[in-house]
Structure 1
Amino acid sequence: MAGPGRTGDVRRRRLDGWSPARPFMLARSGASGMQRHGVAMWSADIGSKLTALAQQQNVQMHMSMSGIDYFGSDIGGFRREMLDSDLNELYTQWFANGAWFEVPLRPHTENLCNCAATSPDSIGDVASNLGNLRRRYELTPYYYSLAHRAHLTGEPVVPPLVYHYQNDPAVREMGHQKLIGKDLLVGVVAGEDERSRNMYLPAGTWYDYATGEKLVSTGQWFNDRPLWVNGEFRLPTFARAGAIIPKMFVDDKTMNVLGKRTDASTRNELIARVYASPTASSFTLYEDDGSSTAYKSGSVRTTALSQSLSGSVATVTVAASSGTYTGAPASRSNVVELVADTQAGGVTLNGSALTQHASKAAFDAASSGWYNAGGGVVVAKSASTAVGTAKTFAFTIGQTPSALTFSCANGTTTAGQSVYAVGNVPQLGAWSVASAVKLSPTSYPTWTATISKLPPGASVEWKCVKRQEADFPNTADAWEPGGNTVFTAPASGSGGTTSGSF
């Protein structure tokens, strides 16, 4: 609501030829059409219960189908006296769901006693809360572009699957999985002791957003998708082949989605995560000043992003931008994160070869170049280039990803216990026991598994651990004694066997 002097400020800006501040109101009652007036709705004094979290997500689906995209809740629930499960687990799940589906994302609880924590840095699994919040920030350009599309065409930001898959009978009554736009599919989680969940993927090729794993679906369920990845609780998320997801740079210096940083530096690069597909696809990035209504009179920049795959060459084009707005950068670096279930042997930019870097550190230190990041991801970037210039990246892919066989000897186990490999790279759980890789008792008590898509040329450290298969905490029953096993991942292909022992 406008406070004293606010109306005068807006009127003065209009007389000066400026656009008025963009309105935004949070309400707990409303009707269809309120989205036209900058109004978001929340579900009022909801109880702190997992059943309430599940109901919240079902209600959000109906709000979306009613044209209301901006809808959220009191993260963690408002009525703590209704709590009937572990509060930290409840909050962690609720924050993860809210980070994907809700606008605004708003932790809040009844706290007249000044004794109820609600900030995500003081309740729940803090690492998970931070990871989910950073993903929300990273995806701001994608969500913002979807918001522009909703404004222009009415296309929902967070639709149920049936919106885009109307001919798939399996999704017609499905409310526990949702889409973000049409390119990301996310599973709701709201239950005690949840460590995995089954996910339905409509027919087509999909990629696990967290790991890059490629899944080809005939319209089927994929069971036991892990919820703890690299030490963080994450909702299972998949990107369809051909998806183009614009992102922003986020690190521990990021303060807000408008690019303010604690060190006053500027990170305005255009980042696009692209999922290779032989079916050509495109996505339009919309940008404006983020605060005024000048977008209504055309102060908007659009940039067309497109991809295609022909044989072993994946092409990603960042077209010349069209339009501008106050504060728009005239030039910037362009970063493409290509997910292709393989490695690259070379990358060109507008026909000229880019320099390959051996590691992320070397890549980050350079103004341009590319590297194989592991996990089926290849990252390339240009130097700062005028936004009016088209940039075409061509990736020569098909190189066999780096892989090794991991072996743990003397792995004698008890009922319900298995042997896992855990290490310093994401493919080994980033030292998170909850995200470790389960081995198979190929010649019991020796356990083995081949793990692929390791970061090529990276120094890998790992250990064998014994862990419960179900309802496990983020701890091991037993660690391999002694120091870590250390090796250098091959540049591509198999590196043989690496061994540990209890």
Structure 2
Amino acid sequence: GRGGDHREAHNVYGLCMARAGYEGLRAAAPGERPFVFSRSGWAGLQRYGGTWSGDVATGWPGLRASLSLVLGLGLCGVPYSGPDVGGFDGSPSPELFLRWFQLAAYLPLFRTHASLRAGRREPWEFGPEVLEHARAALLERRRLLPYFVTLAHLARRTGAPYVRPVWWNTPEDRALRDCGDAFLLGDALLVAPVLLPGAERRTVRLPRGRWYDTATGRAYEGPGKAVVEAPLGRIPVLAR
């Protein structure tokens, strides 16, 4: 071509790789919908697929960063993303792995993955209690599959991400804009993951409306705060 500096094309390269994968799959199987998620991308990546968080560090800060990354990507126009459950480069404790697994069950891309040096990531590698609770999270993910499909359709039609900040419908609410430890899954569910070790309850900041704890049925009025139970077997999920 005309020559120039590599920096001009660096970001576009990842976008074009995703496009090539998408178009190649369309050509190979015209009657099927392609599934692509790319390590790299740029503005417009959502036309061809999604992405993941990259090599997020194993640890409680990495768990919190995973949620921030998915929220940020959604606001930047990439609705389909998710982290490596448990982090990429370390050995999570059973509690950390389970809390990460429970969060990821409510994110668009849900997968366990790690470096070969980091050890196994199957739930049964962390003991029978973790396996039992991970199975419950998987069953809930399966139960919500029609809802995820609806959110995918809405993302395609409107650009609205699956995972939305709690201020999504009231951006003028400064208190909600400071909340980065919970999220809306669509408009109907509020997910409050456990991001600290040893926590068995947590405070949730509620947007406007009446919210019901999906495990206990207890109702809470928003806007405001509520303290909800978060036993090891589940994370708080509220519906309105």
1:157-176 to 2 correspondences below 5 Å: 157-176=162-181
Q: Are the structure 2 counterparts of residues 7 and 43 from structure 1 closer, same or farther at C-alpha, using a change threshold of 3 Å?
A: closer
How much has 1:204 moved relative to structure 2?
2.2
TM-score when scaled to structure 1?
0.41
Counterpart of 1:62 in structure 2 is 72
Counterpart of 1:46 in structure 2 is 56
Counterpart of 1:122 in structure 2 is 125
1:209 aligns to 2:214 (yes or no): yes
CA distance in 2, matches of 1:146, 1:7: 23
Counterpart of 1:333 in structure 2 is none
Which deviations, in whole Å up to 9, do the C-alpha atoms of 1:268-288 show, x marking residues without a partner? xxxxxxxxxxxxxxxxxxxxx
Higher RCO (CA < 8 A, seq sep 6+): 2
What SS is found at the alignment partner of 1:149? helix
Counterpart of 2:196 in structure 1 is 191
Which deviations, in whole Å up to 9, do the C-alpha atoms of 1:119-148 show, x marking residues without a partner? 123326111111111111110101111110
CA distance in 2, matches of 1:142, 1:213: 22
How much has 1:8 moved relative to structure 2?
7.0
Counterpart of 1:32 in structure 2 is 43
CA distance in 1, matches of 2:51, 2:95: 25
Q: Contact 2:60–2:196 (CA<8 Å) still a contact in 1?
A: yes
Counterpart of 2:17 in structure 1 is none
Q: Are the structure 2 counterparts of residues 171 and 110 from structure 1 closer, same or farther at C-alpha, using a change threshold of 3 Å?
A: same
CA distance in 2, matches of 1:46, 1:216: 36
Structure 2: gaps of 5 or more residues: 1-19
Counterpart of 2:105 in structure 1 is 99
Q: Contact 1:50–1:90 (CA<8 Å) still a contact in 2?
A: yes
Percent identity of paired positions between Structure 1 and Structure 2: 31
CA distance in 1, matches of 2:109, 2:74: 14
1:264-343 to 2 correspondences below 5 Å: none
What SS is found at the alignment partner of 2:147? helix
Counterpart of 1:359 in structure 2 is none
Counterpart of 2:141 in structure 1 is 136
How much has 1:216 moved relative to structure 2?
2.5
CA distance in 2, matches of 1:162, 1:55: 19
Which deviations, in whole Å up to 9, do the C-alpha atoms of 1:100-125 show, x marking residues without a partner? 12x3211011125xx82211233261
1:220 aligns to 2:220 (yes or no): no
Q: Contact 1:117–1:123 (CA<8 Å) still a contact in 2?
A: no
Q: Contact 2:102–2:193 (CA<8 Å) still a contact in 1?
A: no
1:76 aligns to 2:86 (yes or no): yes
Q: State the one-letter code of the partner of 2:119.
A: A
CA distance in 2, matches of 1:190, 1:202: 20
Q: Are the structure 2 counterparts of residues 145 and 7 from structure 1 closer, same or farther at C-alpha, using a change threshold of 3 Å?
A: closer
Q: Are the structure 2 counterparts of residues 188 and 7 from structure 1 closer, same or farther at C-alpha, using a change threshold of 3 Å?
A: closer
How much has 1:168 moved relative to structure 2?
2.4
TM-score when scaled to structure 2?
0.83
What SS is found at the alignment partner of 1:122? helix
Q: State the one-letter code of the partner of 2:35.
A: F
Q: Contact 2:99–2:193 (CA<8 Å) still a contact in 1?
A: no
How much has 1:51 moved relative to structure 2?
0.6
CA distance in 2, matches of 1:216, 1:6: 48
How much has 1:6 moved relative to structure 2?
7.0
CA distance in 2, matches of 1:6, 1:56: 29
Q: Contact 1:57–1:188 (CA<8 Å) still a contact in 2?
A: no
How much has 1:9 moved relative to structure 2?
4.5
CA distance in 1, matches of 2:182, 2:78: 18
Q: Contact 2:39–2:51 (CA<8 Å) still a contact in 1?
A: yes
Q: Are the structure 2 counterparts of residues 172 and 211 from structure 1 closer, same or farther at C-alpha, using a change threshold of 3 Å?
A: same
CA distance in 2, matches of 1:7, 1:214: 47
Counterpart of 1:20 in structure 2 is 31
Which structure features the higher share of helix residues?
2
1:235 aligns to 2:240 (yes or no): no
Q: State the one-letter code of the partner of 1:87.
A: S
Which deviations, in whole Å up to 9, do the C-alpha atoms of 1:14-65 show, x marking residues without a partner? xxxxx5321111211112321111x121122222111111111112111111
What SS is found at the alignment partner of 2:140? helix
CA distance in 1, matches of 2:38, 2:126: 26
Q: Contact 1:207–1:239 (CA<8 Å) still a contact in 2?
A: yes
Aligned length: 217
Which deviations, in whole Å up to 9, do the C-alpha atoms of 1:236-266 show, x marking residues without a partner? 11111xxxxxxxxxxxxxxxxxxxxxxxxxx
Q: Which structure has the larger Rg?
A: 1
